Structure 1
């Protein structure tokens, strides 16, 4: 448990050395709209989950029992990404999107 806590502290230090913590949070205005409502909603949900993960990591030095919550949130994000990329691939195939192969190649690491 102590090793996990130290690992998270090291990760936090690396993030905070890059600048203001608020710069690391994903703002909904930073996310490009796709004009596909359910894809845009999934992007917003993912941004919200990443922001929550960041808050958990940021507060980990205060909450000694946050490791399991951080791990759970990270797994939730990975699962969301796998589902989301599957939805995008289905939509791209259905609409013969020219960059579908490129998208699949770039996101395949989440399906392994």
Structure 2
């Protein structure tokens, strides 16, 4: 077991990385099927998406549900623990909007951040 010396270490282990917060952000809006992630997150590879979802599931933030259909349907959603992360995601989104505005990044419209 890894011994952590700060909460940031724990956060980075559970939710850090290039894609995890973005995956959690989209799951804070609705349940998402595997193939929908590729539309929501251009550039993510199948291997990386699979690895990130497995890690988030292993950390208890994401639930994977398999529907017995042909073809099989897999859908991801936030667990109760994952939903507790939504205020953090909202703050990150608001900070990003403020940064874009202050840096003149040409964003005509602010990204809606308040998810429940």
Q: Given the two structures, how large is their TM-score scaled by the length of structure 2?
A: 0.35
Structure whose residues are more often helix by fraction: 1
Higher Rg of the two aligned structures: 1
Structure whose residues are more often strand by fraction: 2
Q: Given the two structures, how large is their TM-score scaled by the length of structure 1?
A: 0.35
